[in-house]
Amino acid sequence: MKRLRLPLLYLLSFVLSIGPIAIFVAFNIDSYVSTTYEAIKLSLGGIMVAIILILKVLGKLKIPSRVVVFSFVLVLSYLLNSLIMDLCILSFLALVGEFFDLVLGIFIKREKEKHTNEKIAKQTVNQLERLMPRA
């Protein structure tokens, strides 16, 4: 269980970070996808956002010229227009999620330090056992 604590904390941090927004969108999904056209637009926008997030996490996101950036923002804002109407609420929920992430970050930091200290202690014990053989 000790080995799973840090990955579980990371997972919980991620879930709590996006949780408030996901819950809000889930409750209001009927208003966002009132027509098939809106559903397709929202799906395409979601796919674009997911690709950007994956590229950002992998460190492969390169910012091109401003023309490309503004074109991309225009297309993305058009596709996510129904969500942009609730931008104030969504940004507040994102702030709530970041607060949860900040609090969990403290526990993650402690767990990482604990894991590192245990690893160093094991290495020290192994080195001492090699230097001082048992009688």
Quick one: 44 and 67 in the same domain? yes
What's the rounded Cα separation, in Å, for the pair 38 and 8? 36
Quick one: 40 and 74 in the same domain? yes
Provide the pLDDT for residue 51. 87
Quick one: 134 and 109 in the same domain? yes
At 52, the pLDDT band (50, 70, 90 cuts) reads: confident
Which tens digits make up the pLDDT trace of 104-119? 889 889 988 988 898 8
Provide the pLDDT for residue 64. 74
Quick one: 5 and 23 in the same domain? yes
Quick one: 65 and 49 in the same domain? yes
Q: How large is the greatest C-alpha to C-alpha distance in the chain, in angstroms?
A: 80
What's the rounded Cα separation, in Å, for the pair 41 and 32? 10
Closest CA to 25 of 98, 94, 77: 94
Total domain count, the chain: 2
At 6, the pLDDT band (50, 70, 90 cuts) reads: confident
Closest CA to 79 of 126, 109, 45, 105: 45
Quick one: 99 and 125 in the same domain? yes
Domain carrying residue 68: 33-85
Quick one: 39 and 76 in the same domain? yes
Quick one: 43 and 15 in the same domain? no
Quick one: 104 and 127 in the same domain? yes
Task: Tell me the H-state helices in 28-86.
Answer: 29-32, 36-58, 66-79, 81-84
Quick one: 79 and 102 in the same domain? no
Global pTM value: 0.58
Please answer whether residues 116 and 6 qualify as being in contact, where contact means their C-beta atoms are separated by less than 8 angstroms.
Answer: no
Quick one: 81 and 114 in the same domain? no
Quick one: 104 and 119 in the same domain? yes
* pLDDT at position 135 over 60: no
Please answer whether residues 101 and 50 qualify as being in contact, where contact means their C-beta atoms are separated by less than 8 angstroms.
Answer: no
